[in-house]
Amino acid sequence: DTGVSQDPRHKITKRGQNVTFRCDPISEHNRLYWYRQTLGQGPEFLTYFQNEAQLEKSRLLSDRFSAERPKGSFSTLEIQRTEQGDSAMYLCASSLAGSKGEAFFGQGTRLTVV
Amino acid sequence: DAKTTQPNSMESNEEEPVHLPCNHSTISGTDYIHWYRQLPSQGPEYVIHGLTSNVNNRMASLAIAEDRKSSTLILHRATLRDAAVYYCILLSGIQGAQKLVFGQGTRLTINP
């Protein structure tokens, strides 16, 4: 297993377009997290799944954002009608449930909305 | 979410020890103390975690105050590759309430 992978690594889109990102977690991990990070800031929590259930969504996640993890394996994060303020690095992480489980992060998808 | 306070930045010299402090005065009895770091242009990576006792691993040591209201991440011999932003995070031990909430972290600069 090569760790958490995210696709694409970079995405440039025009304002108003929809974009979808994919995250493939480490195979035996049942927890999957999405974060957003802007320059100079720490990662901001967006949402997380345990298996296929979405357990929590941040208030930062407006109704233009939706995340799925249909079979409890890979996850997608979709942003509809993108805005320039959506430009950021989107990070995915996975872990085993339990407070002792370290989270492993992917390299992220950098979104630029022009 | 329980909060942590860290200095914005610290500087140290190569091959010297580095002590990165973190205050978490509102920590609850079920919160674990986790440390992550983020190297430039990479996602965060796990460093170490603990509950009450001091912890050591190949990357670092974690010293936890007796009252658990503060902790210190110790890099025993810093290298240039340790230059990163270090995040101190409290992770709830309660099932269903576990998520990593990042603050601003401490930007560590290592001088050659």
pLDDT at A37 over 60: yes
At A59-81, the pLDDT tens digits run: 878 899 999 999 889 999 999 99
Phi, psi at residue B13, to the nearest 5°?
-105, 150
Q: Which of A72-86, A89-103, B63-77 is predicted with the least confidence, judged by mean pLDDT?
A: A89-103
CB pairs under 8 A between A and B: 55
Query: How many CB atoms lie under 10 A from the CB of residue B89?
Result: 25
pLDDT at A92: 97
Confidence grade of residue B1 (pLDDT, cut at 50, 70, 90): low
Which residue matches tokens 């022009």? A114
Residues ≥6 apart with Cβ < 8 Å to B105: A42, B6, B38, B85, B86, B87, B88
- How distant is the Cα of A107 from the closest Cα of chain B, in angstroms? 5
3-state helix, strand and coil shares in percent for chain B, rounded to the nearest 5 = 5, 45, 50
